[in-house]
Amino acid sequence: MKEELIVKSYEIAKERYAALGVDTDKVLEQMQNFHLSLHCWQADDVAGFEVQAGQLSGGIQATGNYPGKARNIDELRADIIKAKSMIPGTHRLNLHEIYGDFQGKVVDRDEVDTTHFQSWIEWGKENDMKLDFNTTCFGHPKSGNLSLSNPDKGIRDFWIEHSKRCRAIAEDMGKAQGDPCIMNVWVHDGSKDITVNRMKYRENLKNSLDEIFATEYKNMKDCIESKVFGIGLESYTVGSNEFYVAYGAQNNKMVTLDTGHFHPTESVADKVSSLLLYVPELMLHVSRPVRWDSDHVTIMDDPTLDLFSEIVRCDALDRVHYGLDYFDASINRIGAYVIGSRAAQKSMCRALLEPLAKLREYEANDMGFQRLALLEEAKALPWNAVYDMFCLKNGVPVGNDFIAEVEKYEAEVTSKR
């Protein structure tokens, strides 16, 4: 797209928004400080680099067999860098423990330490990407249907040790990068059919978490993530939303909201204002559920727009962290990275451009017609011209120009794998 056209469109948009009290230059500055945590698992379908890798479990499924997935750590890193080159702004990288640099050695999950992630720490510094982290309690011979809530103390202790080591790794990552590493704990624990001892499993999970979080760290932040159900574990989920909200509120822990982990009729956006009254911060895992937690590529749909709008309306930009969490193996994986990342950015851009002061004025004065009218008219304002300018300022493809870039990388790199 020609630069002069982008600039001209932006100047028009700037005037339109100024008439409603919105400063688009300020929004561009805010967008520069909006950092996504890109999920490493989109490029290789959640395979990881363990020598003794197991099958996916716990409801984790990557569907599709599009050619060219990353087969090793070098290919994964190259794919992430390529995707990053088409996403404006500076961003983070979210790693699962199974993506350690194991150098061809068998390292069980209760033996992992920072040495297995030192090359990632160095890579992050070289590529201006700070790191976040996750435990990996699925896809392992000891995963089964229950991990941290398992009545078998030996299995439970194995996953407690794994989680403790992951926190220590996250602490070292945060210290090395001079910014807290956010570490997410999610377990798939549950049951396929009717469960009569729900309380016992949840008591086990609570006690395990208490032991895991016993050590205080300064350079990492814990977050805990719920789920409604997993495939093969449909009837009972130990770590339900109620469990983790209560645990987070009582223990001052960050709560993770995954947009695929709720009933299709629930509004994740509506949870933001309630949770922020009781927990210090929120972590988002943004994906797109299609009938269930299918982890389709994030798009600029109503639930995503509503979620980002609510964060802005809550004045919570400094209390929410933004991660992506999908793995689509049916289309070009690099293209999926770019589409989802830019969709999240566009949703935030539109949220920041909302004429919020005027809308709040209408609401405070019980002017319901005016509020609804302005909300509707705001949808048609030229927000896209502001996002295009954001791309231009960051030297990345504007509009659909990135499609050709993805096609070129596929022709030259991924198609030859």
Give the Cα separation of 295 and 331 in Å (integer): 13
Q: How many CB atoms lie within 10 A of CB 93?
A: 23
Domain coordinates of the chain in residue numbers?
A: 35-353
35-353, CATH topology level? TIM Barrel (3.20.20)
Give the Cα separation of 252 and 246 in Å (integer): 10
Q: What is the pLDDT of residues 140-162, one digit of tens each?
A: 999 999 999 999 999 999 999 99
Catalytically active residues, by annotation: 186, 225, 227, 258, 261, 285, 293, 295, 325
The confidence score (pLDDT) of residue 63 equals 78
The confidence score (pLDDT) of residue 57 equals 59
Q: How many CB atoms lie within 10 A of CB 120?
A: 24
Indicate the residue type of 125: K
Q: Are 342 and 297 in contact (CB under 8 A)?
A: no
Residues of the chain with pLDDT under 70: 1, 53-61
